[in-house]
Each structure stands twice: as structure tokens, then as C-alpha cells.
Chain A
Amino acid sequence: MAGLNKSEFANPVINWIDTRLPIFTMMQKEYGVFPTPKNFNYFWNFGALAMVNLMIMIVTGIFLAMNYQPNTQLAFDSVQHIMRDVNYGWLIRYVHQNGASMFFIVTYIHIFRGLYYGSYKTPRELLWMLGVVILILMMATAFMGYVLPWGQMSYWGATVITNLFSAFPVVGPKIVTLLWGGFSVDNPTLNRFFALHYLLPFVLVGVIFLHVAALHITGSNNPLGIDVKTPQDTLPFHPYYTVKDSVGICVYMIVFAALVFFAPNYLGDPNNFIPANPLVTPADIVPEWYFLPFYAILRSVPNKLLGVCMMFGSLLVMFVLPWLDTSRVRSARFRPIYKWFILLWVVAVIVLGVCGAHKPEGIWVILSRVCTLYYFLHFLVIMPILGKLERPLPLPESISKPVLGGRGGGPMPAGAAAKPMEKA
């Protein structure tokens, strides 16, 4: 397989490098002329947005780590030092803190896109499963990051989440002691959480690389959910989708900046302004907003072990989604009944989030139980059965000729698509 690459780049320096290490040829193939379905809507921005968000988190995180002290005696004060003394420390920390929320907003919309348009179905099962791995790694990273400021919510969040593992019979308490490196959440716990919080984003980069590599094998799904049949169904990624992604990035940056500059603590918890106290639990203990639906599932079950299993199960069920959905039609646009069920599932998740923010009493218990039931019913019962019973709407012949007038990519200007496609 050895042999020099025949580079087509005119610039002699680029050509010299590309001949020996064809990174320019690769970028040109994967992000330049890469044939991409021409009917993307703005939901297809969110993968790129998540990538940008990860980069922001890694860069701001590295600069925060230069000033942070992972020691129970120093951690809280070192965060205040970042906020007050370090040049632009307040900005870097607020970007990192709110960046976590932005990351979950972007990722949850990205996942909804996959669910609604059936992006998890064959041949993209592995692509989807890698995505679920990314989600779980992200959650672990976010959780450990939240512990680092060593405020009251950090400490008690760490205590509660690590204690989840105590629910498992026999090995449970041993696992918890192992996680803590002691007999309570303490300095060894903080040290290892910091080490892992620094490591996991780079693991994420690796898994995301595989996620994108798998995407570039199968090609992107699209709002119609039908396969690309001819080159006329696609556009080169650059400039069409680099520009479309840039529009999304601008809107994303506006939302992000509004959060950072006008409401930096809106999504935070005031209890985390109090230094960690292992002897006093705050009266209202809630996780960050992005964990609330899962927290509500945990609390909706009166049995400890079952609650923990349901909570983990709500994520793990995602792994087998490609096989639970028996319908061969990808896009919910052509599934008149399923469309309402998946939207109802979104409503259930949002209601679960609201339930998670309230004390588990009265109506909130009933609501969270109903929604938890629907969450699992949707995946485990409705999806497999509905796929067999439902009569989907007729699918368009091709991306270029949608049967639904005007939806999913109208007529393209003739000159725009045709020329680069002759190569593909």
C-alpha cells in the first residue's frame, strides 16, 4: 500500500506536504467536495455546533486548569481567585460553565434530530451507538466538572450520584468506596474527578472522530430519510454546508453570549456559592438542568435498586433503538402516527425535567411516574409494534423530486448543483 500520494494541489508547499502526507487531499475529500444531501434543514447544524462547543470547552478548560487547585482546602477559593484576580478569569469561567449548558442544549437537539428523522436506522446503527457513547461520556464529564468548584451543590451532587452505585447488591458499597478513594467524598475524590474531567474530553474527541468517520462512510441522513440515489441529490459540503453551518454558528454564538454576559448564573444553583460542608446538606438539592429528566425517572420509582436501574436504563435503551424500531421508513414526516408519538415522547422528557426540578410530592410524583412510564413504553412497546401496523405515506422518488410540494428541498438553481456533481 505504500506509495506517494499524487497531489493535485497547485501550491508547491501544499503539494510537497500533500504528496508525503495527504491531509489536504483528505480534507478536500471529506469536507470540500464531500457529497452531502441537498435538502438539509437547520436541524443538521447541530453536529457542527456540538463540535465547536467541544472545542470551546477544551480551550477554556485548559486555561481554567492553569489557575484551579484540585484540593478540598483550596478548590473553592481558587475558583473565586479565577473570578476576581485572574485577567478575564470571570469570562473564561462563565464561558466554560455556561458552555456545559450550551453543549447539552445543542446535543439534545442533535439527538432529537436523529430520533425524528430516523438517523439511527440501518445503515447508521453504529454511528448512532457511538453517539450514545458520546452522550454518556459527556454526562460523566459534566458531572465531574460540576464537582470541581467544591461548593455545596458540588459536594452533595457528588455524594448523591456516587451513592447511586450503592444500590447494586453485594458489590455496591465496595464500588462506592472505590469511587471515593475513602469513606466519604473527600480530597482523593476531588483529585481523581479533576484528573478524569481533564482526560474525558480528549476521549470524547476520539469517539467523536469515530462518530464522524462512520458518518462519512454511510453519508448523512436527510429530512426526507431516503437514500441519495444520484449525484443530483447532493451538494458539495463546501461551500454550501460550511456556509449553512456558519449561519447556525452565528445564531449559536448570539445565544451563548447572551447567556454569558446577561445571565451567567441563571442556570446555576445559588447553593454552589457556599463552600462545601460535609456536615450539612442543602434543603433543596437538585442536579443541573440537563440531568433533571433522568433525576425525575430515578425519583419516580419507590424502590432504590429499580430506580437506579430505570435511570441508567433510560440511557442504555438508546443503544438498541435501531432494533426496537421496526419501521423501515426513516423520516417521521412519512409516518403519520409515529410522528405524534415521538413528539409526545419529547413532551414527556420535558415534563420529566420540570418534575425533576420540583420536590417529589403531590402532582409531581404522579406526573413523573406517568412520563417515566411513557418514556419506556415508547421505546419498548410502541416503537416495535407501530412499525408493523402503521401505513407510511408514500416516499418521494428521490431527494430531487419530493412528492410533497415544496418541502424538503425545492427546485435548485440549475447551475448550482450540477457541475461539481459530475465528478462524484
Chain B
Amino acid sequence: MADSSAAAHHAAPDGVTKRDLLQLIAGAGAAIGAGAIAWPLIDSMNPSKDVLALSSVDVDLAPVVEGQGITIVWQGKPIFVRHRTAAEIKEAQDVKLSQLIDPTNGLDSERVKAGHDQWIILVGICTHLGCVPLGNKPSDPRGDYGGWFCPCHGSQYDTSGRVRHGPAPLNLALPPYAFESDTKIKVG
């Protein structure tokens, strides 16, 4: 309307006017400004520094006897720490990759620290939809493979935490951890 008449007045031969440039610059400036405002607001929803500070946990393994498992909390998630029996270790090592649903990190040796075969440390969250599987306590149902059994949709894990029966698609995740001594680990 008003601007079209003004624009026509100043139009260059190719039809591009100074007003087009001004509008683009103003629009770009507004978009950059909106982004600059949105950034801190959205970033404020990321984990805050006190949450990030809770990134590691020390666990004393000495009280955990053979055949027993404990659950600790790391970053708000359950971490399964299980002291496996010799039979459970053998069962885990004998499984062939071809038998697995998810062969990634499928060998038992890839799932424990060398020399600490009796300790399996896992993120205790079913890879299907995030429930916590049963089986860490000896009295829990452990499914057909002697590991863990998810009560939500019936996924089953073996004594190495590998998924053996769906619907879960992936093995239980391995948290980052290290042995600080034979009876102490640091998770995270």
C-alpha cells in the first residue's frame, strides 16, 4: 500500500529496492535477537552445575558376598553391582555371539574389567522403555537366563546383562567405572 508506492518510486531497474534490503536487515537483526534471547532460557533447562557435580560415586564392594547384588544410585539412575558365582561366570562366557539379540559388546570379557570377572556393573534400566528389571536380589525372578527379568514387558537378560529375550533391543548399558582397589570402584 503506502510502501508499495514508495518502493515503486525508488525501484532499481532489476526491481530490487533499498526497502527490500532494509527489511532483510531488520528481519535478520530481529531473528538474531530472538535467538540470543532464547539461548540462555533454553540452556537454563540443561543440567545445572550442582547436578553435574554429582557425576561420580564410590562403591565399597567388600560387603557384597558371592551371589549377591546391590543397587546403587549414580546420576539418579540405578546401577546394578552383582557378585557373580563361578557358575554364573561360566554360563556368561559360554554364550556365542550368534545367540545374542544385540552382539555389541557381546562377549562377557567386554562387559567386565579384566581380572575382575566376578563383578558385573550395569546401568539397571531396561533398554525397552526404561523400567528397572528385577533380579538383583536372589529372591527376585531372574528369567530363563539367570540374569534379570523386566516386569514391565517381559524382557530377559543373562548373567552378563545381555538381552536374550525381547522386546528390549539392546544389552543393559555399561556405566563408566574403574577399580580403585580390589574392593572399591568409582562409577562415573
Interface-lining segment among A2-10, A82-90, A125-133, A277-285? A82-90
The contact string, 1 if C-beta is below 8 Å from chain A, for chain B 44-57, is 11101111000000
Q: Please, how many angstroms separate the alpha-carbon atoms of A416 and B40 in the complex?
A: 41
Q: List A70-106 residues whose CB lies under 8 Å from chain B.
A: 81, 84-89, 91-92
Q: In chain A, what residue has the closest Cβ to B51?
A: A85
CB-contact partner of A419 in B2, B40, B41, B48, under 8 A: B2
> Is A92 a contact of B50 with CB atoms below 8 Å?
no
> Is B44 a contact of A87 with CB atoms below 8 Å?
yes
> Is B44 a contact of A92 with CB atoms below 8 Å?
yes
> Is A92 a contact of B41 with CB atoms below 8 Å?
yes
Q: In chain A, what residue has the closest Cβ to B47?
A: A87
Interface of B is mostly: helix
CB-contact partner of A236 in B1, B6, B43, B51, under 8 A: B1
CB-contact partner of A81 in B40, B45, B50, under 8 A: B50
> Is A86 a contact of B2 with CB atoms below 8 Å?
no
Q: Please, how many angstroms separate the alpha-carbon atoms of A357 and B92 in the complex?
A: 77
Q: In chain A, what residue has the closest Cβ to B53?
A: A85
Q: How far is the CB of A254 from chain B (nearest CB, A)?
A: 13
Give the total of B residues in contact with A, Cβ under 8 Å: 15
A209 at the interface (CB under 8 A from B): no
> Is A87 a contact of B43 with CB atoms below 8 Å?
yes
Q: Please, how many angstroms separate the alpha-carbon atoms of A60 and B44 in the complex?
A: 11
> Is B48 a contact of A89 with CB atoms below 8 Å?
yes
The contact string, 1 if C-beta is below 8 Å from chain B, for chain A 46-83, is 00000000000001100100110000000000000100
Q: Please, how many angstroms separate the alpha-carbon atoms of A92 and B43 in the complex?
A: 11
A248 at the interface (CB under 8 A from B): no
> Is B1 a contact of A420 with CB atoms below 8 Å?
yes
Q: How far is the CB of B101 from chain A (nearest CB, A)?
A: 39
A239 at the interface (CB under 8 A from B): yes
> Is B49 a contact of A91 with CB atoms below 8 Å?
no
> Is A88 a contact of B44 with CB atoms below 8 Å?
yes
CB-contact partner of A84 in B2, B43, B49, under 8 A: B49
CB-contact partner of A67 in B6, B40, B48, under 8 A: B48
A415 at the interface (CB under 8 A from B): yes
> Is B2 a contact of A59 with CB atoms below 8 Å?
no
What A residues does B1 contact at CB under 8 A? 33, 236, 419-420
Q: Please, how many angstroms separate the alpha-carbon atoms of A85 and B47 in the complex?
A: 9
CB-contact partner of A63 in B3, B5, B6, B44, under 8 A: B44
Q: In chain B, what residue has the closest Cβ to A32?
A: B1
Given A419-B1, A420-B1, A88–B6 Cβ distance below 8 Å?
no
Q: How far is the CB of A91 from chain B (nearest CB, A)?
A: 5
> Is B2 a contact of A236 with CB atoms below 8 Å?
yes
> Is A415 a contact of B5 with CB atoms below 8 Å?
yes
> Is A420 a contact of B2 with CB atoms below 8 Å?
yes
**Interface size classification for chain A:** 20 to 34
Q: Please, how many angstroms separate the alpha-carbon atoms of A67 and B48 in the complex?
A: 10
> Is B48 a contact of A416 with CB atoms below 8 Å?
no
Q: List A245-292 residues whose CB lies under 8 Å from chain B.
A: none
What B residues does A86 contact at CB under 8 A? 44, 48-49
What A residues does B5 contact at CB under 8 A? 415, 419
Given A236-B2, A239-B3, A81–B48 Cβ distance below 8 Å?
yes
What B residues does A89 contact at CB under 8 A? 44, 48
> Is A87 a contact of B40 with CB atoms below 8 Å?
yes
> Is A91 a contact of B40 with CB atoms below 8 Å?
yes
Q: How far is the CB of A68 from chain B (nearest CB, A)?
A: 12
CB-contact partner of A59 in B41, B45, B50, B51, under 8 A: B41
> Is A85 a contact of B44 with CB atoms below 8 Å?
no
| 10 smallest beta-carbon distances between A and B, as pairs | A88-B40, A85-B48, A85-B49, A85-B50, A86-B48, A87-B43, A420-B1, A87-B44, A88-B44, A91-B40
Residues of A within 8 A of B (CB): 33, 59-60, 63, 66-67, 81, 84-89, 91-92, 236, 239, 415-416, 419-420
Residues of B within 8 A of A (CB): 1-3, 5-6, 40-41, 43-46, 48-51
- Known contacts A92-B44, A416-B2, A420-B2, then 12 further A-B pairs from the complex at CB < 8 Å, ordered by chain A residue: A33-B1, A85-B49, A86-B44, A87-B43, A87-B44, A87-B48, A88-B41, A88-B44, A91-B40, A92-B41, A239-B2, A415-B6
Some 23 contacts from A to B, beta carbons below 8 A apart, are A60-B41, A63-B44, A66-B44, A67-B44, A67-B48, A85-B48, A85-B51, A86-B44, A86-B49, A88-B40, A88-B43, A89-B44, A89-B48, A91-B40, A92-B41, A236-B2, A239-B2, A415-B2, A415-B5, A415-B6, A419-B1, A420-B1, A420-B2
